[in-house]
Structure 1
Amino acid sequence: MTKVLILSDSHGLTKELKEIKKRHTVDYMIHCGDSELEMDATELEGFYMVGGNMDMDHRFPDEQTVTIGGLTFFIAHGHLHNVKGNISTIAYRAEEEGAQVICFGHTHIAGAEKLGAQLLINPGSIRLPRNRQEKTYAIMEWNSKDDIKVNFYTETGEIVPDMAYSTML
């Protein structure tokens, strides 16, 4: 079983990032931007990360493509892909990179959805959520492309049952 912790839009939080990292045993971690921390901050150690529109450290890449557990992930904050307007621009960019999974933030709206052969995951925000009360992050886990699960957790580690998502790619 491969497990990936995905979070975004932590906007300066440090204690909460440390607690979330300690709470879960995962294989990989992704931060989709707007950490508002320096790229080499200890709280971000171990994360694949990208820069968001509120990140001032210009060492953050705008996007990353990584292969994890047989799936290719495209990671971007989303502000450069107009995700507040629609998700097709980021989906097209991820397709150019050969990615099946797209991780992004910027909207602060948590959710997972399948679009064609791609899975899009926005973990929401652990600081300033929109459209829901819960401050959230996500964990994606899979044994095979036929059995992918995405669970959302509150900032304090409680699962958000009505947001659970399962699919195959």
Structure 2
Amino acid sequence: MKVLIVSDSHGMSTELKKLKELHSEVEHFIHCGDSELAPNDPAIKDFVIVRGNCDFYDEFPEDVVKRIGDRTFFITHGHRYSVKSDILKLSYRAKEEAADIACFGHSHYLGAEMIYGTLFINPGSIRLPRGRRERTYVILNMLENGYELKVYDIDRGEIPELGQVFPLSN
């Protein structure tokens, strides 16, 4: 099962529509906040979306816990968990929610790591990336025995050297 994860698009609607068209094989779409779009904007129609610190609409929840397949996702923007400093607070919250995967944004830095059986994913930003030039998002392929993570640049497509495989802990 494939999940596209994006964050910090800051007003970009055409690009979000493009992602859905480019990746028709993806079954689930997650936006980790700072879309700066109205809740009824067609660009975010198929996304599970949370409220970022730059989002003005109260209709977006701060956090979402969602079951996708046999995995539990904890989705947040990250500003309420101080993710620009470290992900300790976020890791505690993900553990409270028994999350297998924690998706967040806010820092605009691309990153993924497995910590005590929970996969933490920050897809970077498709608008204002930090730490690199590529405007990134990720596609997570949930496998029976782990995860395959592919990183994409919105302009150039997949960046194969940034892909990672994470086995499930026993």
Report the TM-score when normalising by structure 2: 0.96
How far is 1:158 from its partner?
1.1
**Which residue number corresponds to residue 153 of structure 1?**
152
How far is 1:142 from its partner?
2.1
4+ runs deviating over 3 angstroms: none
**Which residue number corresponds to residue 45 of structure 1?**
45
**Mapped pair 1:3 → 2:2:** yes
Cα distance in structure 1, aligned partners of 2:141 and 2:93? 24
**Mapped pair 1:117 → 2:128:** no
Cα distance in structure 1, aligned partners of 2:130 and 2:160? 18
Cα distance in structure 2, aligned partners of 1:39 and 1:117? 33
Cα distance in structure 2, aligned partners of 1:38 and 1:48? 14
Cα distance in structure 2, aligned partners of 1:143 and 1:59? 33
CA RMSD, Structure 1 to Structure 2 (Å):
0.9
How far is 1:157 from its partner?
5.2
Please give the secondary structure, in 2, of the residue aligned with 1:19.
helix
How far is 1:165 from its partner?
1.2
Deviation readout 1:75-131 (Å, 9 max, x if unpaired)? 000000000011011111011011010000000001111111110000000000000
How far is 1:143 from its partner?
2.6
**Which residue number corresponds to residue 73 of structure 1?**
73
**Which residue number corresponds to residue 33 of structure 1?**
33
How far is 1:160 from its partner?
1.1
Deviation readout 1:35-68 (Å, 9 max, x if unpaired)? 0001121100011110000000111100000011
Cα distance in structure 2, aligned partners of 1:46 and 1:82? 28
Please give the secondary structure, in 2, of the residue aligned with 1:53.
coil
Instruction: Give aligned pairs, total.
Output: 167
Instruction: Mark the runs of 5 or more structure 2 residues left unpaired by the alignment.
Output: none
Q: Please say which of residues 159-168 and 73-82 is displaced more in the overlay.
A: 159-168
Specify whether residues 47 and 157 from structure 1 end up closer, same or farther in structure 2 by C-alpha distance, changes over 3 A only.
farther
Please give the secondary structure, in 1, of the residue aligned with 2:158.
coil
Please give the secondary structure, in 1, of the residue aligned with 2:157.
coil
Please give the secondary structure, in 1, of the residue aligned with 2:65.
strand
**Which residue number corresponds to residue 141 of structure 2?**
141
Cα distance in structure 2, aligned partners of 1:27 and 1:89? 30
Cα distance in structure 2, aligned partners of 1:41 and 1:157? 26
The share of aligned pairs that are identical, in percent, is 45
Report the TM-score when normalising by structure 1: 0.96
Equivalent position amino acid for 1:17 in 2: L
Cα distance in structure 2, aligned partners of 1:91 and 1:157? 32
Instruction: Mark the runs of 5 or more structure 1 residues left unpaired by the alignment.
Output: none
